[in-house]
Copies of this chain bind each other. A is one copy, B any other.
Amino acid sequence: MPAVVTLAEIRKALGAIDPLPLIEAGFAAYSRGEVVVPPVGELEFDDPPGDVHIKYGYIKGDDVYVIKIASGFVENPQRGLPSGDGLMLVFSQKTGVLEAVLLDEGYLTNLRTAVAGAVVAKYLAPRNVPAVGIVGAGVQGRMQLEWLRRVRTFDTAVVWGIDEVELAAFRRDMERPGLKVRTTLRAEEVAAAANLIVTCTPSTRPLLEAAWIRPGTHITAVGSDTAAKQELDPAILARADRIVVDSLSQSELRGEAYRAVSAGAIGRDRLVELGRVIEDETLRRSSDEETTVADLTGVAVQDIQISKAVWLALSRR
């Protein structure tokens, strides 16, 4: 009988875990070819609209393999439900036996995504950040803002959202001594104020335009994880000095890089994989003048690393 672990227990276990070095090591192993990650499994629904991703794989020679399921149903909040749900399954790599069902309700996916944003910012964001910009005032926007504090010092966040209600809630949740939160309904204002921007929406059309972006800005695009979703004007990628993707293979089918390549704005030879940036300092930002973009579609190695750490912490007790 596998362990069935609730979100409350997962949160408790996370108290003893620093996910940042784990996620970073995972991306590095992935780009070294040490991780088996088959193509993302995908289900799409029309009525109501929703999508489900199955991400799975294993690190060669490791003890476990992991299957993660995460869903997004954008109309759920109208029914009083969170839009995201999910779980992670941890199996033995030696016997196939199911060891743990982590009923994280999508929380571990949110966490490993926010941590990936921090890993990217560590290597690609400018050193001096007058203000962080967050496009998308949901759960992921909050978590990205929180995790960026780990790798950069800043005292202002400028947040774009779709209405005043969600923006007021964001400010209420996130403003504190040392962090001023400004809100706006015009994404252009985010670009005007911030030189470290994270986009985290389910948008299917560009929210940021190339003309708005200040030289020296770094943008991490987190929201686009399907072929249909898009948050950035392809010209932003075309003008960037560096374009980093979490997975070269996934970027052939989904995400901002996919959209920019499809639009003819960039060639695939412009793309560099995050794990290589982690291991090779010549691939990182070299001055505060460079404009850089990172496109995160979410890679199973993140799910493997975070769920393995949680399960190890719980099974050792």
Q: Which residues of A contact B (CB under 8 A)?
A: 1-2, 4, 6, 36, 38, 41-43, 45, 48, 50, 52, 54, 56-58, 65, 67, 69, 71-73, 76, 79, 81, 84-87, 89, 91, 93-98, 101, 103
- Is B91 within 8 A of A98, CB to CB? no
Name which residue of chain B comes closest to A48, CB basis.
B94
State whether A43 and B38 are in contact (beta carbons under 8 Å apart), knowing that A96-B73, A96-B85, A103-B1 are contacts in the complex: yes
Instruction: Report B-chain residues with C-beta under 8 Å of the C-beta of A76.
Output: 95-96
Instruction: Report B-chain residues with C-beta under 8 Å of the C-beta of A58.
Output: 43, 45
- Is B71 within 8 A of A43, CB to CB? no
Instruction: Report B-chain residues with C-beta under 8 Å of the C-beta of A93.
Output: 45
Max chain B C-beta neighbours (<10 A), residue from A1, A79, A93, A95: A95
- Is B41 within 8 A of A54, CB to CB? yes
Max chain B C-beta neighbours (<10 A), residue from A43, A67, A79: A43
Instruction: Tell me the smallest distance from the CB of A3 to a CB of chain B, in Å.
Output: 11
Copies in the complex: 2
Name which residue of chain B comes closest to A7, CB basis.
B1
Q: How far is the CA of A76 from the CA of B91 in the complex (A)?
A: 14
Instruction: Tell me the smallest distance from the CB of A195 to a CB of chain B, in Å.
Output: 36
Supply 25 A–B pairs (Cβ within 8 Å), ascending by A.
A1-B6, A2-B103, A4-B4, A38-B41, A38-B42, A41-B41, A41-B54, A43-B56, A43-B57, A43-B65, A45-B58, A48-B94, A48-B95, A50-B95, A50-B96, A54-B54, A69-B91, A71-B91, A73-B94, A73-B95, A76-B96, A79-B95, A85-B97, A86-B98, A87-B101
- Is B72 within 8 A of A96, CB to CB? yes
Q: How far is the CA of A23 from the CA of B70 in the complex (A)?
A: 28
Instruction: Tell me the smallest distance from the CB of A41 to a CB of chain B, in Å.
Output: 5
Instruction: Tell me the smallest distance from the CB of A48 to a CB of chain B, in Å.
Output: 6
